[in-house]
Amino acid sequence: MIRAYTIASGKGGTGKTTVTANLGTALAQLGRKTCIVDMDLGMANLGLVLGLDKTPVTLHEVLAGNARIQDAMYEGPYGLKIVPSGLSLQGFQSADPERLKDVMCDLTDRCDFLFLDAPAGIGTDAVIPLTVADEVLLVVNPEISSLMDALKIRILTEMIGGAVGGAVLNRATLDSSDLSRKKIEKALGVRIIDTIPEDANVRRAAAARTPIVVKYPGSESSKVFRRVAAELAGIPIEEEPDKVQEGFIERLARTLFRRGP
């Protein structure tokens, strides 16, 4: 039985693609058949951040009725299936987001988990993914503009008969200007499933066109992605306890009392 999630935020640049790519990879690492789809028909970048170079068939052709979804699926890490969107404006014009429902039917037997990376805004290509998923997961940053846009998406989703399952707070810092998790939860009216910190390794991994859970598996963000993936898969995850940071005194003692050559 397939479980479909749409990753949405309303505001651009909150981390939807990052969350889609890494949750998808983390679920694939857990052995779940997982497919991620770039619904950003105009400004595609899921394939780019995952290092796909040759993608002769994309979601553009599928939504234009000229190809089957299985022809637009490319292999990612741990057997993750990636459906990129095309980069051409012509392809964008020919793609009809209304075909998404039929595409989802074709995917039913092919995977356990499906993630749709929604575009920013409330255009047709952003709204349709909100209706077809079992649950919408919001990606929100700890700032008022992101919160307001996420709230709009929550209300819109409910108005059109969809369901919001929760939110992921991304790019959290310890800065006092950050909205707190509690405030966001209260204003948004949905549970914050987990919090991903602001992490320079996220950008480094994107530059290397590799998910952070593969490139920097020990980073804080990777731990959060694995935790959320485990929760979605309904399995307990045991993280290694964090190594106690060696302080200056411990380092000095180790150097002074080192045995042997």
One residue of 6, 14, 29, 222 binding ligand ATP per CB under 6 A: 14
Which is closer to ligand ATP, CB of 70 or CB of 88? 88
* Residue 215 binds ligand ATP (CB under 6 A): no
Q: Which of 80, 104, 196, 213 binds ligand ATP (CB under 6 A)?
A: 196
Piece of 25-33, 201-209, 230-238, 246-254 that binds ligand ATP (CB under 6 A)? 201-209
Regarding 40 and contact with ligand ATP (CB under 6 A), the answer is yes
* 223 near ligand ATP, rule: CB under 6 A: no
Residue 125 binding ligand ATP, by CB under 6 A: no
Using CB under 6 A as the binding rule, whether residue 13 contacts ligand ATP is answered as: yes
**Residue 202 interacting with ligand ATP (CB under 6 A):** yes
Residue 141 binds ligand ATP, judged by CB under 6 A? no
With beta carbons less than 8 A apart as the criterion, state whether 88 and 121 touch: no
179 touches 144 (CB < 8 A): yes
- The residue among 1 and 6 lying less far from ligand ATP, judged by its C-beta, is 6
46-85 footprint of ligand ATP as x/- string (CB under 6 A): ----------------------------------------
User: Does residue 29 interact with ligand ATP by CB under 6 A?
Assistant: no
Give the interface segment with ligand ATP, choosing from 161-169, 180-188, 199-207, 252-260 (CB under 6 A): 199-207
Decide: 81 and 110 in contact? Cβ < 8 Å.
yes
Q: What is the dihedral of CA 215, 219, 224, 229, to 10 degrees?
A: 30
Reference 26, options 168, 185, 181; nearest CA is 168
Are residues 209 and 48 in contact, defined by beta-carbon separation less than 8 angstroms? yes
Neighbours of 9 (CB within 10 A): 29
Which run of H or of E encompasses 130? Answer: helix 124-132
Within 8 A by CB and 6+ apart from 141, the residues are: 11, 14, 15, 169, 170, 171
Crossing angle of helices 220-233/16-29, nearest 10°? 60
Which residues, numbered 102-121, are part of the site for ligand ATP (CB under 6 A)?
A: 120
The residue within the footprint of ligand ATP, chosen from 16, 32, 154, 223 (CB under 6 A), is: 16
What sign does the dihedral 211-212-218-220 (CA atoms) show? negative
Nearer residue to ligand ATP within complex by CB, 144 or 235? 144
Laid out side by side, the sheet with 113-117 consists of 74-75, 81-83, 34-38, 113-117, 3-8, 135-140, 164-172, 192-197
**Residues binding ligand ATP (CB under 6 A):** 9, 12-18, 40, 120, 170-171, 196, 198-199, 202-203, 206, 221
